[in-house]
Every structure is written in C-alpha cells, then in structure tokens.
Structure 1
Amino acid sequence: MKIINAVLLLTVSLAAAEVQYYGTGGSLVLRPKFSGAITSITWKHKGNIVAEWIKGSVDLEYLGDLKGRLDLNLTTGILTVNNMMKADQGLFSVEINNKVLPDAFEAQWIDNLNDHKVVVIATPLTCSSQSPSCKLRCGEEIKGAGTIQYFWKKGENGSWEQGERLIEIENTDETRRFKTFTCRAMNQISDKESKPEENPFILIERVLFFKIVIKSVALLFLLIFMVWFFWKNWNVLCRCGCRDREKDDL
C-alpha cells in the first residue's frame, strides 16, 4: 500500500500542479477538491508530512518547519499556512481517506509590489510642450514579482486602461486636455498605484506662467520700495532745506 501511495504521489508531483502565489508574511490557502465525510487526512510539503489526522486513532498533529503556522479544517480538508516565507516554496499534496488526490499545489513566492516605488517617469528628460511626442514609463523594472500587468489613467476621473510599462503619448489637443497621467502595477498578490504626474506637454507652460507671476510680483514690490525710499528721503531733504532757510532769515 505504501509503495502504491508513493507511486501515486510521484505521479501527482509530475502532473501539472496548480500554482499558488504568495508573498512574504502572507497566507496560503489550499483547497482540495473533495466532497464527503473525511475520516483521515494527510498533507505533505516537499514530500514530508506537515499535517496528519485519523478519526478515532490519531489526533490532529502538525509537523516539520511549518508547525505553528498551520491550520487544518477537518471538515473540508482546507489547509491554511500563515506567515509564509520565501523558503516555503514547493509542492503540497494531500491524501484523504487513504487516497492520494490528484490535487497538487505548487507554492510560488513572488515579491509584493507595495515594497517597490511606482511612479510615472516622462522620457526624455527634455520632454516639454514643444516635443511632438514623449514616452511615459511606469516605474523601473521589478524583478521577482511574477507577471506584472500595467494600467494607465488619463486625468483625475479617467478610466483605467491596460497597457505596457512604457507607453508613447502624442502632443495633440486631445492629449493636452488631461492635466495628469497615473499608472498602476498589478501582480497576482498585490497592486500599487502611482501619484498623478503632471502632463509633460502642459507642465512647462505652467511652470513658465508661475515664474512670470513670481517675477512680476517681485518687481512690483521692488518698485513700491523704491517709491517709498525716494519719498522718505525727499521728505528729509525738504525738512532740512526748510530749516536752512529759516536760519538764513534770522
């Protein structure tokens, strides 16, 4: 019987297992496709027993490196592994009522996108209102995070549209209608959204406008100061002149 189970387990291992993605500190929930009463159940990880129970004979016992982080539902057979670590990757298999199920789960660790910076970057750096076109990049390349999908939003109230990490925008009246561009990166366990980035085709014009306003205000204050300065000194000169004339009259 043990030989038969070993052969079946090997067959399950060689078969296409269902990939279950997880991140550091997350939980892994494994749901075997089984209906009916469970009288015995054994979960294995990398071929080693991690949870075992036999009704009326063996109390539920957790074993191995996952001990203390496991939770087995004896009614459904669902196994939950908490506080997952990168080292927990590998094949999970289950035996219920002395039968190895064809269900196998390949636990695969991927990086959480929330641990990375996601920001809209306009290229080239000289991109401005005078450029015929520019490219927008949704952050730097993230390795070890599985398959990443990228989405873009035009303006504050635009809808999300799936695209590539690098997109090209044309300097048209339609594009200049939107004040900002926002991107979102998403993988199997997480997603992260960038802050809205100013439209590079209108950003330079806005910066120039503010510079002109600031310079104009500065010049206005300088003019007011000069008028006040000359007015003050003119009054002093006038008072001094009046005193001199009064002395001459005496």
Structure 2
Amino acid sequence: MTKLNQIIAIEKSVKAKAARALGDAGRELGKAPLLSGISRTYQPKDEEGEQLPPESTKVQRRVEEQLREVSAAMTRLFDVTATKDRTNAIATADITVDGEALAADVPVTYLLFLEKQLGELQAFVKSLPVLDAAESWTFNEAADCYATDPVRTVRTKKVPRNHVKAEATEEHPAQVEVYYEDIPVGYWTTVKFSGSAPAKRVAQLSDRLEKLLIAVKFAREEANGTEVVDEQMGARIFGYLLGE
C-alpha cells in the first residue's frame, strides 16, 4: 500500500510536470501559424496551360489535443494533492518524550508546524543572556531578578595637609609643601542586579527543546507512514470541464 511519505516524495515533481504542461500548451497555442493549415490545387484555364503542383500546410497544433495533454498532467496533480490532503486529515501520531506521551493523536500538519516553531525557539534559547560567572548570584524575590551579595566599600575624601620641609628662619619663611590625604568619610554598599538567566537554566531549556524536537520529528515520520486514502478527483473534475 502507498504511504503518505511516498505521495509527499512525488508531489513536487508531479506539480512541476503539470505546470510545465500548462505553460507549454499556452505557448504552443499562442503561435497562430501552428494552428493554421491550407490546401490548394491549381487548374489551368486550358489543357495547354502551365501545370502547378498542389500546395498544402498541415495543422500542427489543435486546441482539443492540447486540452487533453493538459488534462492528463493536471489530473495526476489533482489526484496526488487530493490524496495527500485527504490522508493528512487522518494521519496522526503521539509526541512521546522520555517514554511518556506528551500529546496524543497529533495531526501531521500540526507536527510540521510544531517542528518549524521549535526550531526557531531553539535558536532563540541559544541566544539567551546568562549571568556573569564571575559573580555569585541568588534570586531576589523583592526585585524579581537575580542579585549579588552586598559588597561594602569605603568612600574617601582628599583632605589637604601641610608638610613643613624647612622651618622658618629670620632670613627665610618656612618651606611648606601641600599634599592630600585620603580620609574615610563613609561606606558604599553595592548590590548588582541582573535579569539574565543562570547558565544551568539555559542549558536545561536547550536540552528539553532538543528532546522535544526529536520527539516531534519521530512523530512526524510515524504519521507520514500512514496508508493513503487514494483519491481520483482529477478525472471527475476534467470530465466535467472538458465534457461535450
């Protein structure tokens, strides 16, 4: 029995053949000389007149003939597509992850959609920002994000000081050099916050997505193994279209 995946495998070539037949027929019928023919004979006025051979041109293309060729190619396309769509309506499979059915009897068309979306989601997860590994982070409920432990640092202020290099004498004033000394005046307590995710969480999401994507692909292949419901739609359609 024919399987759905076999129909899918030939659909593209059948579609291309039908398109080619339709295009070729349109081009051929657009060439007026191919549709025209003529036959003429010559008869002189009297027996002694010049004898000329008959002339004829055959009709090379006929509308009905082209319609039959197009009909044959498109009938096959209509049948293949109808068979695929009819079978898609009953082709289902379970999505099974770690031995448990995550979803049962999922339609094959939805499995195809899900496979594409999970692929895009996988790329998104791989680009998620992660917390700086150089810091120690814990989740802060109040801020609803991750935070570091408080770090206390000293705030200093430069205070000018005088350094007497030489005492004053009767002849010379004192030689004084001004320098600045850092004096503690307070303390900064710093807590860093981040909306990034822990690397472990991102890795967990990536692993789960990979498992789910594999499960969906397996399910899609299983659903594509469904025996087809053979449809002969094309003959009925063209029987009506081309009927007398």
Report the TM-score range of the alignment, normalised by the length of the smaller protein: under 0.3
Greater share of residues in strand: 1
Return the index of the structure with the highest Cα Rg: 2
Greater share of residues in helix: 2
TM-score normalised over the length of structure 1: 0.20
Larger RCO (alpha carbons 8 Å, 6+ apart): 2
